[in-house]
Every structure is written in structure tokens, then in C-alpha cells.
């Protein structure tokens, strides 16, 4: 005999739900509680690094920028250098260059010329010719047809179309939580 079972939602999970602490860290950044955000990003970065997670350098970058905006420039710079070093150790040169450029721009925007110059010329460890500017230009720049939302819908992280991994012409992966983000018209 055929019995109709109760309705069950067939929600398709694209990826793991973002960590609540990541959502909180992004909320704290949005309300300019930089000390609280820095603590949350630091904790997440340390946890992620232990498991060699791909988001670790992005989390260290956010922790560093939050510390700098909280007035703790020296500690913030240490976290930023750690983030760039992780990219370099992993051989992720395009990400290294993109983030180095973005971070130095942010430091200049905050009127931290010396720190901005330091990051703009930062080279990690024994990296030699791989780190010159010609590397980035040798990679084809992806120009998406559509624009990404400014924030990830899952974790609330700020998104930039030139810093995400594009899956296809309309979908990208959030570097913080791994969620798929669809571009907008």
C-alpha cells in the first residue's frame, strides 16, 4: 500500500555552513568594533591554520587590518606578514600578489605610508624572481560578466571580484567560508 510521507524539504547544501564566529567577526567589523573583530578573526585564523585550511591567510589579513584599525599597528602588521608568508609557503603567488596590493592600498587609505610601502615591497623568505610584478601580469585577468554582491550571504565577509576563485562566469567561491556566491546583473 502506498503511504504518503510528510513533506520534507530538499534543501541542497552547497557547502558547510559558515562558522558562527566568522559571521560575528564580520558583524563586528561592520559596526567598527575592531578589537572584538580582531580577536574573533585571530581565533578563527589559528584554528584554521592548524588544519591547513585555505582561509587561514585571509583570516590573518582581516585580523591584521582589524588590529591596525583598533590602533595596534605593530600587531596588525605581524598578522598581515603572516598571511602573506602563508600564501608564499603554499606557492599561491597570484593570491600573494593580489593580497599584497590590496593590503598596501588599504594601508595607504588609512594614511599609514610607511606600512603601506613596506607591504607593497614585501617579499617572503627566500622567494626570488617568482615575486616580481611580471608574475601577476603573466596570468590572464578574469573579467566577470556580472558583478558579485559586496558581502557573502553566508558569512558576511566583504567580497571583491578580483580576489575570489571563479567557478564559472557567474559563480565564485567565498575565500572565507567556501560558499558559492552568484554574481548579479
pLDDT tens for residues 132-163?
Answer: 444 444 344 444 456 788 888 888 888 887 77
Task: Please give the Cα distance from 39 to 27 (Å, whole number).
Answer: 13
Give the 3-state secondary structure of residue 180: strand
Domain limits of the chain? Answer: 20-139, 140-185
Give the predicted TM-score (pTM) of the model. 0.72
Closest Cα partner for 138 from 179, 90, 97?
Answer: 97
Residue 13 · residue 32 · CB < 8 Å: no
Q: What is the mean pLDDT of residues 102-125?
A: 90
Measured CA to CA, the distance from residue 133 to residue 138 in angstroms comes to 9
- What pLDDT is attached to residue 126? 44
Choice between 14 and 171, residue whose per-residue pLDDT is larger? 171
Mean pLDDT of 45-71: 93
Is 20-139 CATH 1.10.3470? no
**173 close to 43: Cβ distance less than 8 angstroms:** no
What is the percentage of the chain residues whose pLDDT exceeds 90?
A: 45
Higher pLDDT, 21 or 124: 21
Residues 13-56: tens digit of each pLDDT: 445 667 889 899 999 999 999 999 999 999 999 998 888 888 99
pLDDT for res 63: 96
What does the alpha-carbon distance between residue 128 and residue 131 come to, in Å, rounded to a whole number? 6
Amino acid at each position: 500500500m502506498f503511504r504518503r510521507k510528510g513533506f520534507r524539504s530538499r534543501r541542497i547544501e552547497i557547502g558547510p555552513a559558515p562558522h558562527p564566529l566568522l559571521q560575528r567577526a564580520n558583524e563586528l567589523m561592520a559596526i567598527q568594533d575592531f578589537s572584538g573583530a580582531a580577536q574573533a578573526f585571530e581565533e578563527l585564523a589559528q584554528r584554521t591554520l592548524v588544519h591547513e585550511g585555505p582561509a587561514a591567510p585571509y583570516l590573518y589579513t582581516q585580523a591584521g587590518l582589524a588590529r591596525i584599525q583598533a590602533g595596534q599597528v605593530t600587531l596588525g602588521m605581524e598578522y598581515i606578514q603572516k598571511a602573506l608568508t602563508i600564501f608564499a609557503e603554499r606557492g599561491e603567488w597570484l593570491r600573494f600578489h593580489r593580497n599584497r596590493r590590496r593590503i598596501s592600498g588599504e594601508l595607504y587609505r588609512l594614511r599609514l605610508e610607511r606600512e603601506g610601502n613596506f607591504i607593497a615591497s614585501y617579499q617572503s623568505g627566500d622567494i626570488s624572481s617568482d615575486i616580481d610584478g611580471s608574475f601577476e601580469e603573466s596570468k590572464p585577468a578574469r573579467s566577470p560578466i556580472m558583478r558579485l554582491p559586496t558581502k557573502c550571504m553566508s558569512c558576511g565577509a566583504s567580497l571583491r571580484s578580483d580576489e575570489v576563485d571563479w567557478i564559472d562566469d557567474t559563480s565564485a567561491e567565498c575565500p572565507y567560508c567556501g560558499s558559492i556566491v552568484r554574481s548579479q546583473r
